[in-house]
Amino acid sequence: MGSNDVTTDASTDASPGHFHAAVGRLQISGDWTLAHHAALRRQVQAHRADVSADDAVDLSGLAGLDTAGARLLVELVGAERMANVGQWAAELPRARLALLETVARVLGEPLEPEAPPRAPLADWLVDVGERVGALWRQQHLLLGFIGLTLTTLFATLRRPRRWRMTALVAHVHQTGLNAVPIVALLTFLVGAVVAFLGATVLRDFGATIYTVNLVAFAFLREFGVLLAAILLAGRTASAFTAQIGAMQANEEIDAIRALGLDPMALLVLPRLLALMITLPILTFIGMLSGILGGAMVCIFMLDISAAQFLSILQRDIPLNHFLVGLGKAPIFAFLIAVIGCLEGFKVTGSAQSVGEHTTSSVVQSIFMVILLDAVAALFFMEMGW
């Protein structure tokens, strides 16, 4: 056999498939079936370059054929040429012609379908709909978790033996005492900034004395509780989610249930009650620090003495502003704790899921705090409080 004459045998079985490639002619014979697929595939890959697209193909010696063998024949002869096998191999049985044409047509099509034409407006509407649906499902789940939390809380309050005071004190220390320095520092700086801005505007009207009223109103009603809540949303809600999420990923919560314990009473209630205790305290500290920051600006920049500053506070600032700001703290604390714990229970078991839900808890907590504060401000304004 010369250099242009190649004969391949796929197997030593009774009727193995093989092909004979001579100059200008390709003869196929034997069984091209799954039983000989491995050997046939090696031979086709090794001698595919010896077959020309112009060679005449003789399929008269083809004995057996199935889908695996048809695929190898299409690879050897070419999908485009094999798709027209009925024109140059009409002697084959109709079933084999149909099989070869079908396999050739499938292999000749692109693996990835063409992308459908994009409609930017429709895509935007679909995205908006998906986001609204996700928001609705999230709020529905949050309301259900709030109901479960309240049910567990009321059931536990009637049984003092089930109170977990050690966990409560530990979480009060973690969420409250450790947060005092950052809350005090931030509110002090914001109080100084508010006083600077107020003095800048009021100086043009000769009313810099009212900077005291501005700082007091701002921190007693809004900034004291809002800044403390936002700090706890970023600091504590993320910690709650990470702690419970890690337990969920390690199947520790399933172990708690297997021991007959309630994860809501064991994990959620101590965190919830601790945050409802510490946020009002941090709010009070934030109010004092913010007013102190404004007082520093008034004393050193606006020539308002400390005695005059305190006199204006006592004379012009009623107590109800302090009560309005302090009254919002437990509600904010409840929302922050519930959202942080809920996102922890939603973790699916991977480190990536823990990170995603930790981020989600911070964003949701801050959003809900600001939204509820805006609604409360409108309500109090209409009520004249």
DSSP class of residue 259 equals T
How far is it, in rounded angstroms, from Cα 211 to Cα 219? Answer: 12
> Which pLDDT score is estimated for 276?
92
Residue range 240-291, pLDDT digits in tens: 998 888 888 888 888 988 888 888 888 889 999 999 999 999 999 999 999 9
Residue range 33-75, pLDDT digits in tens: 878 778 778 777 777 766 766 667 777 777 778 878 777 777 7
59 by DSSP, 3-state: which?
A: strand
Range from 114-118, 126-130, 205-209, 275-279 carrying the lowest mean pLDDT: 114-118
How far is it, in rounded angstroms, from Cα 370 to Cα 380? Answer: 15
- Directed axis angle between helix 67-77 and helix 37-47, to 10°? 0
Residue range 152-193, pLDDT digits in tens: 888 888 887 878 888 888 888 888 888 899 999 999 999 999
Its pTM stands at: 0.67
Angle at alpha carbon of residue 145, lines to 142 and 150, rounded to 5°: 125
> Which pLDDT score is estimated for 291?
93
Range from 76-85, 130-139, 181-190 carrying the lowest mean pLDDT: 76-85
How far is it, in rounded angstroms, from Cα 25 to Cα 12? Answer: 24
Query: 19 pairs with which residues across the strands?
Result: 8, 28
What is the β-pairing status of strands 25-32 and 6-9? unpaired
> Which pLDDT score is estimated for 114?
66
